[in-house]
Amino acid sequence: NISQRITGLNTLRIKETDRLKAMCKGITELGGSFKIVDDDSVEISRHRGLHHGSVDFYDDHRIAFAFAPLVVLTQPLLIDDPLVVGKSYPGFFYHLQQVGITLG
């Protein structure tokens, strides 16, 4: 049981997507616990191991960057739109593969 509270997140709701809601939905769908406390903080806990699944990136490159490395815990992780990273790091998924991370 690992729990933590992260604060200082107030700007995450006003980006390409509501990143707090996107992270909450994605972590929950993979078996974790992610609770939005208020506009500034979240509580995250993992009561059991994360499982495989798919995560919606909401056409937001930073959501893709946040979730893609979880493939080492969730094998496989289905990527809904790998091209979304082209905005800021077109070689992201290629570089993950170069270090041995196999994507689903």
CATH number of 49's domain: 3.65.10.10
Beta strand pairing call for 41-46 and 53-55:
unpaired
Angle at 91 between CA 62 and CA 24, to 5 degrees: 20
Predicted pLDDT of residue 90: 95
Which CB contacts under 8 angstroms, 24+ apart, belong to 45-49? 45/1, 45/2, 45/3, 45/4, 46/1, 46/2, 47/1, 49/73
More confident residue, 52 or 92: 92
Please count the other Cβ atoms lying within 10 Å of the Cβ belonging to residue 27: 22
pLDDT band at 22 (very low <50, low <70, confident <90, very high): very high
Would you say residue 4 has pLDDT above 70?
A: yes
Would you say residue 19 has pLDDT above 90?
A: yes
Instruction: Note whether residue 104 is domain-resident.
Output: no
Q: What are phi and psi of 80, to 5 degrees?
A: -75, -35
Q: What are phi and psi of 73, to 5 degrees?
A: -100, -25
Predicted pLDDT of residue 1: 59
Instruction: Note whether residue 103 is domain-resident.
Output: no
Instruction: Note whether residue 69 is domain-resident.
Output: yes
Averaged pLDDT score across all residues of the chain: 86
Instruction: Note whether residue 18 is domain-resident.
Output: yes
Find the mean pLDDT for residues 6-13: 91
Say what the pTM is. 0.81
Predicted pLDDT of residue 42: 92
Residues belonging to the chain: 104
Asked if omega into 76 is within 30° of 0 (cis), the reply is yes
